[in-house]
Amino acid sequence: MSAELTGAARRSFLLPLALAQFICSFAGSNMNVMINDISEDLDTDVQGVQLAITSFLLIMAILMIPASKLTDRWGRKRCFLGGLILYGIGALLSAVSPGLGVLILGNSVFEGVGTALLIPPVYILTTLAFSNVTSRARAFGVISGLGGIGAAAGPLIGGFIATAISWRAAFIFQALVVAAIILLSRRMVDPLPADPGRPFDVFGAILSAVGMFFVVLGILQADSNTALMAVCLAIGAALLIGFFLYIRYRERVGKDVLLTTRLFKNRTSNLALATQNAQWLILIGTSFVVAVYLQTVRGYNPIETGAIFTAATLGVLVSSLAAERLAKRRAQKTLIVAGFVMTLAGIGLLIGFVYAWSSVVAFVPGLLLIGLGVGVMLTPSVNVVQSSFPEDMQGEISGLSRSVSNLGSTFGTAIAGTILVADLSRGTYALAMASLALAAVIGLVAALRLPTNPEARGASAAPS
């Protein structure tokens, strides 16, 4: 390990990693404000665009754990750059797509696989490069904050580009940002050498991926085929249980596994992972539900829809900028609990004000509170998870953490989105938002059960 990075070296190392998290989070929400434009241009409907968005988030989630294992085999920088290249190709394909199929290939497949490859190295490299507790806390704060800002600002930036130029230009914007990140990453050094001989559990990777796929597929069938939904959920649950039994067996016989069961035996980490899942479910779910409602029910265009999300963007930005200062004054558990309380209040306002007030301003207080709440708790949740394990397990826990967060994003679009598009009306809007409130309650319960001062594991554990 090299000496602790400081000053300009620290900034040049962090910038491409934080921008990578920003653009991937941006991609998960920016299409929400372009649903009508894309539907008309590609001759599809809301469900078709929802499929593309959900598929992107799902592919990220199911490949994040296998990709995190490949970082040891191929090297963290190589995976990072390879993921960026795939992402850039996907963005360009999406920009020229003549129909929904090519859009799904570019946005969902290429960008999804690219994101799964590049995101685990972001967190692993940060953990390895910053051994000091304070500096690592600051680094995670920058990366998580930009991730939250990317998700919250996606509708605003995407709406502006779509209205000023075209929805296709939003994908050109993504490709340009990716090109800039590649240039900024040229001098990045991987602290550890690649290990090409490191074994990789192919069957375990397939088993876990297919299991998660069927779970999300089942959720997407909720509005059209209840029997098929039940079958898909049952198959998915069976495969995931089978995956857990399979890796436990391989561990008993001393074979390498995709994901060690030790990761699931840490109560603090498990609770913090539950809060991460809920946070991204709420943020991306709210973005999808409000954006679709505004465009299909109220008839707003992309820039008008995106402008309304300025409140959420400002909320995430303000709370993210204050994250380091708040961390010095309050325990991580306190910040996570406060974040969920704020998001619950925000969801309540989004339901109540929209019914009682016809003005567009009705959406602002709720979105602002949700942005503030999510921004307050993103970094503490990441810190609690990463700090629960020593450095030799950072690759695995980073992959699991990112997979759980992206599953939350997928569930947000799949669950709340499916409820909404089943019958685009104020009634289903309220029901969709209520499902997000339930997720916030579950996250709050998990946060309340966290220890006040989680114990860091390892000599150079992540931030406390």
How high is the pLDDT of residue 459? Answer: 35
Q: Given a cut of 50, is residue 288 above it in pLDDT?
A: yes
In the three-class reduction of DSSP (H, G, I as helix; E, B as strand; rest coil), residue 131 is classed as coil
Instruction: Classify residue 422: in a domain, yes or no.
Output: yes
Whole-angstrom Cα distance, residue 233 to residue 218? Answer: 5
Whole-angstrom Cα distance, residue 259 to residue 240? Answer: 12
pLDDT by residue (tens digit) across 399-451? 788 778 878 887 888 777 777 766 666 678 888 899 999 999 999 999 999 98
In the three-class reduction of DSSP (H, G, I as helix; E, B as strand; rest coil), residue 259 is classed as coil
- Residues 246 and 138 placed together within one structural domain of the fold: no
The tokens of 203 are what? 């069957």
- Residues 240 and 269 placed together within one structural domain of the fold: no
**Which residue in 304, 436, 221, 279 sits closest to 37, CA to CA?**
304
Total domain count, the chain: 2
pLDDT by residue (tens digit) across 51-92? 888 888 788 878 888 888 888 888 889 999 999 999 999 999
Instruction: Classify residue 253: in a domain, yes or no.
Output: yes
Domain extent at residue 444? 9-187+258-448
Burial class (CB in 10 A: 0-12, 13-18, 19+), 303: middle
How high is the pLDDT of residue 262? Answer: 86
Instruction: Classify residue 142: in a domain, yes or no.
Output: yes
- Residues 122 and 253 placed together within one structural domain of the fold: no
pLDDT by residue (tens digit) across 170-227? 999 999 999 999 999 988 888 878 888 888 888 988 998 899 888 888 877 766 677 8
Average pLDDT over all residues of the chain: 84
Instruction: Classify residue 179: in a domain, yes or no.
Output: yes
Determine contact, residues 50/296, Cβ cutoff 8 Å: no
How high is the pLDDT of residue 245? Answer: 93
Q: What is the pTM of this model?
A: 0.79
- Residues 126 and 37 placed together within one structural domain of the fold: yes
- Residues 176 and 218 placed together within one structural domain of the fold: no
- Residues 227 and 302 placed together within one structural domain of the fold: no
- Residues 208 and 98 placed together within one structural domain of the fold: no
pLDDT by residue (tens digit) across 218-262? 877 766 677 888 898 999 999 999 999 999 999 999 888 888 888
- Residues 423 and 359 placed together within one structural domain of the fold: yes
Q: How many CB atoms lie within 10 A of CB 452?
A: 8
Domain containing 385 — which CATH number? 1.20.1250.20
- Residues 321 and 337 placed together within one structural domain of the fold: yes
Q: Given a cut of 50, is residue 48 above it in pLDDT?
A: yes
- Residues 272 and 307 placed together within one structural domain of the fold: yes
Q: Which residues contact 404 (CB under 8 A, 6 or more apart)?
A: 273, 276, 277
- Residues 222 and 340 placed together within one structural domain of the fold: no
- Residues 252 and 394 placed together within one structural domain of the fold: no
Instruction: Classify residue 453: in a domain, yes or no.
Output: no
Among 257, 274, 299, which residue terminates a domain? 257
The tokens of 28 are what? 């998960």
pLDDT by residue (tens digit) across 294-308? 888 888 888 888 888
